[in-house]
Homo-oligomer: A and B are copies of this chain.
Amino acid sequence: MDVLLNDDENLIVDSAREFLTGECSTKLVREMEADALGYSRELWAKVAELGWQGMCMPEKVGGSDMPLVYLGLVLREAGRALAPIPLHSTAVATLAVARDGTAAQQEKYLPDVVAGKSVWTWAFTERDPRFVPEAVQMSATARGDNYALDGVKLFVDNFPQADYCVVVARTTAGSKGAQGLSLFIVDAKSKGISQKPLITLAKDKQSEVTFQDVLVPKANIIGAAGEGWPIVERMLDRGTALLCAQMVGAARKDIEMAIEYAKFRTAFGQPIGSFQSVQHTCADMQMWVDGGELLTFEALWKIDQGLPASVEVSQAKAFCNEKCEAAVRNSQSIHGGIGFMMEFDLQLWFRRVSAWTMRMGTSFEHRARIAHALIDIPGEVTLGRPLPAAA
């Protein structure tokens, strides 16, 4: 038991931070907000050289086979720098392939991922925004060696720049809930796919993606047809925990800016940071981000250990949703008017952290999941001990 970073982990953090400090200015972040594809191809290539895309990929495809915690630390730094690269969506999608795909799929797709030559994303949500199996209506109808996908996905991250998209659909017509779901590796440029941009306050790339009779080879199913839900759950848990890592990284930088601002901005003859109300607000902000960070990395660590981690993931996300938002909103307030100005950098963090709090599960959803594990499974609960049965 030692929840602090060890030497290897510190090395990862230091080198990522040093790299991004040099390579990822807010000027670049702003440019990429206006960019058609929304990401820096140059930066994407450079981080591939650093091995970020391959960090948790198997060695046989050129990856480093490192723990997810390491990728979490890198995403924390990417969040801190608001690095305009599609690392999160690529990681979510390709980790599903790496963990649950066939050897053939891995050999076919992952070397390019590791080399930084492809961008990936994933598509789960449709009209119902919840991360429950009932929310998936998209149909995948067997037709010869293919499935034909029909339906509309919403809030697909980085779709315009993606080469491949892992899509969740119903392979069993008329199936309900967790039954009959499958994951497909879909070429994002397939015939029958069209996308419409969604305009978000984060100014990032989110899409509505329509699938009309899109043919996908049967070989592209991840796992067994119709039995995809456990794979989806693992994909979402990993993705949610990694999103939290990105969020606490961004929120940390954001509150650091407010704390620094409070030290030099004066009012009534003294730094505003000397007023007890501002001090206590800053103390709260620090503790909120600390709390989110501890919860997040416990979740990632448990996934690495192969332990049940759904409750931990939901703890992290529900907490980050509320407390990271509170933290960055208080940063805005401490800055007063200037924080509200486009030309001042703080808003770059505020808008992204806010958007991330609304994605990959609301606080209500995640708390319902926790309550289920705590209450509905018989046995006595004790804090710090595993729950009575896997949630």
Interface residues of A (CB under 8 A from B): 275-277, 280
B-chain residues with CB within 8 Å of residue A275 when the two chains form the complex: 276
Complexed CA–CA distance, A92 and B371 (Å) = 38
Instruction: Kindly report which residue of chain B lies nearest to residue A278, judged by CB atoms.
Output: B276
Kindly list chain B residues whose C-beta atoms are within 8 Å of the C-beta of A276: 275-277
Determine how close the nearest CB of chain B comes to the CB of A120; give it in whole angstroms.
Answer: 41
Give the docked Cα–Cα distance between A216 and B280 (Å): 62
Q: How far, in Å, is A267 (CB) from chain B's closest CB?
A: 13
**A277 to B276, alpha carbons, bound, how many Å?**
6
Q: Rank and list the top 5 A-B pairs by shortest CB-CB distance, nearest first.
A: A276-B276, A276-B277, A277-B280, A275-B276, A277-B277
- Whole-angstrom CA separation of A276 from B268 in the bound complex: 14
Distance (whole angstroms) from the CB of A274 to the closest CB of chain B: 10
5 residue pairs bridging A and B, Cβ less than 8 Å apart: A275-B276, A276-B276, A276-B277, A277-B277, A277-B280
Q: Which residue of B lies closest to A277 (CB)?
A: B276
Query: Complex: how many Å from CA A277 to CA B283?
Result: 13
**Which residues of B sit under 8 angstroms from A277, Cβ to Cβ?**
276-277, 280
Complex CA gap A17/B168 in Å reads 69
What is the bound-complex CA distance between A26 and B21, given in angstroms?
66
Residues of B within 8 A of A280 (CB): 277
CB A280 to nearest CB in B, in angstroms, measures: 6
A276 to B274 Cα, complex, angstroms = 11
> What is the distance, in angstroms, from A128's C-beta to the closest C-beta of chain B?
19
- Least Cβ–Cβ distance between A272 and chain B, in angstroms: 12
Q: In whole angstroms, how far apart are the Cα atoms of A275 and B280 in the complex?
A: 12
A143 smallest CB distance to B (angstroms): 44
User: In the complex, A348→B372 CA distance in Å?
Assistant: 40
Complex-state Cα separation, A232 to B354, whole angstroms: 47
CB distance from A44 to the nearest CB of B (A): 47
- Compute how far the CA of A373 lies from the CA of B126 in the bound complex, rounded to whole angstroms: 31
- A280 and chain B: residue at smallest CB distance: B277
Query: Chain B's nearest CB lies how many Å from the CB of A300?
Result: 34
Taking the nearest CB of chain B, how far is it from the CB of A346, in angstroms? 24
Q: Nearest Cβ distance between residue A354 and chain B, in whole angstroms?
A: 26
A275 to B274, CA, bound (A): 12
Question: How far in angstroms is the closest Cβ of chain B from A104?
Answer: 52
A280–B278 Cα gap in the complex (Å)? 12
CB-CB nearest in chain B for A275:
B276
A277 to B280, CA, bound (A): 8
A353 CB to nearest B CB, Å: 26
What is the CA–CA distance of A276 and B280 in the complex, to the nearest angstrom?
10
Give A276 to B277 CA distance when docked, in angstroms.
Answer: 6
What's the least CB distance linking A145 to chain B, in Å? 50
**CB proximity of A369 to chain B, nearest CB, Å:** 20
Could you tell me the distance in whole angstroms from the C-beta of A50 to the nearest C-beta in chain B? Answer: 46
Measured CA separation A261–B339 after assembly (Å): 39
In the complex the two chains form, what is the Cα distance from A126 to B110 in whole Å? 65
Distance in angstroms between the alpha carbons of A371 and B280 in the assembled complex: 35
Tell me the bound Cα distance from A389 to B276 in angstroms. Answer: 48
Least CB distance, A357 to chain B, in whole angstroms = 24
Distance (Å) between the CB of A281 and the closest chain B CB? 10
- What's the Cα separation between A112 and B280 when bound, in Å? 58
Assembly CA distance A303 to B102 (angstroms): 70
Chain B nearest Cβ from A214, distance in angstroms: 39
CA distance A280 to B280 in the complex (A): 11
Distance (whole angstroms) from the CB of A127 to the closest CB of chain B: 21
Report the separation of the CA atoms of residues A275 and B275 in the bound assembly, to the nearest whole angstrom.
Answer: 10
Assembled-state Cα–Cα distance A280/B277 (Å): 8
Give A276 to B276 CA distance when docked, in angstroms: 6
